[in-house]
Amino acid sequence: MLSFLGRELGAAPFEDGLRAVTWQGVVAAVTLTALTTICSAWRWQVVARALGTDIGLPRATGAYYRSLFLNSVLPGGILGDVHRAVTQGRREGDVAQGVRAVGWERLCGQVIQAMVAAVVLLTLPSPVRPALPYVLAGIAGVAGCAALVMSVAARLGRSRSARAARVIATDLRRGLLVRGVWPRLTLASVLVVAGHTATFVIAARIAGSTAPLGELIALLMVIQIAAGIPLSIGGWGPREGAAAWAFAAAGLGAANGVTVSTLYAVLMLAAVTPGAGLLLKDAVRRRRGREHPGERSEPDPALPPRHPAWREAGRLVP
């Protein structure tokens, strides 16, 4: 995708996005990202509690910053979430439970983001509005087929697919769809979408886009959905392609879309740098633990918890 955009548009749109970075934009992105990260951590906390585990909000926020930074610099866009799931699972002594909590948290966020995007795109003018009813019908059909497959699989006895289907059904029925859970998940997800959209609008205005706010928000919804596709390299790829197409289809120019997307990517990378600091702190603590094995230190979040029988008077004993 990036190679194609480079051939068609040249390097100028990317360079314009880099040159458009301002300290006011960085401050706004850092502030909004801090708020959206807290909301995302809260959503994760709600899901974890619904599934029978718990994680404090400060710890969840730190773990979320780590995952956001890793997602922003590693291929795929989900390796940070894998790190977060495994780390929390090891801390609780149940990696599978940690993976389920993070998986459901991300899925809930994506589903609610798609619902918000559908409402916005049906309400506001956008290039995808004529085709949106067909897209929604296709999604509804896929969701119905998935529900039917799960229902059939749950009745197949003791096969692996049957056990997985029963676990999913139990998580939904007794956890995520409980009356006191799903409203909080919805609220947290809507706040996250609003925060990311506000950051994108700021990037568009700094980059010089003069499109009406309603039209701009509709375009940004399309770009955000594309950005969630786990086929990027450090976040780059589908986002820039969707931005070029959406802005071109709206008559705003593909180059402007790439410039806005580039500026947004730079602002977001600056906003998630606290995650890099936390990862560096973890690395330093691990190194000190290896160099001074007899000293007491905080448990490493990337390692499984020590068994209580290993402790005696606050010291590790053979």
How confident is the model over 265-306, as pLDDT tens digits? 999 999 999 999 999 999 998 888 776 665 554 555 544 444
**Contact (Cβ atoms closer than 8 angstroms) between residue 142 and residue 121:** no
Burial of residue 216 (number of CB atoms within 10 Å: 0-12, 13-18, 19+): buried
Residue 42: is its pLDDT beyond 90?
Answer: yes
Per-residue pLDDT at 106: 92
Rounded Cα gap, residues 35 and 32, in angstroms: 5
Quickly state the pLDDT bin for 86 (edges 50, 70, 90).
very high
CA gyration radius, the chain: 22
Q: CA 149 from chain center: how many Å?
A: 27
Domain span holding position 52: 2-129+183-277
Domain count, the chain: 1
Residue 8: is its pLDDT beyond 50?
Answer: yes
Q: Domain for residue 270, yes or no?
A: yes
Give the pLDDT confidence of 172-207 residue by residue, as tens digits. Answer: 888 888 888 999 999 999 999 999 999 999 999 999
Locate all alpha helices (DSSP H) within the chain, ordered by sequence.
2-9, 12-19, 23-50, 57-73, 79-92, 95-123, 132-153, 160-171, 182-206, 213-227, 238-249, 254-271, 273-291
What single DSSP character describes residue 174? I
Q: Domain for residue 90, yes or no?
A: yes
Per-residue pLDDT at 150: 60
Q: Domain for residue 165, yes or no?
A: no
Helix (H, G, I), strand (E, B) or coil at 316: strand
Q: Domain for residue 313, yes or no?
A: no
**Contact (Cβ atoms closer than 8 angstroms) between residue 195 and residue 109:** no
Whose structure tokens read 């959406």? Answer: 246
- Mean per-residue pLDDT for 222-246? 86
Length of the chain, please? Answer: 318
Give the pLDDT confidence of 132-149 residue by residue, as tens digits. Answer: 676 667 677 766 776 666
Q: Domain for residue 206, yes or no?
A: yes
Cα angle 199, 201, 107; round to 5: 55
Residue 7: is its pLDDT beyond 90?
Answer: no
Least Cα distance to 224 among 81, 112, 98, 57 occurs for: 112
Handedness of CA 266, 73, 68, 11 (dihedral sign): positive
Q: Domain for residue 230, yes or no?
A: yes
Q: What is the mean pLDDT of the chain?
A: 83
- Amino acid of residue 28: A
Q: Domain for residue 17, yes or no?
A: yes
Rounded Cα gap, residues 194 and 133, in angstroms: 23
Per-residue pLDDT at 311: 38
Q: Domain for residue 295, yes or no?
A: no
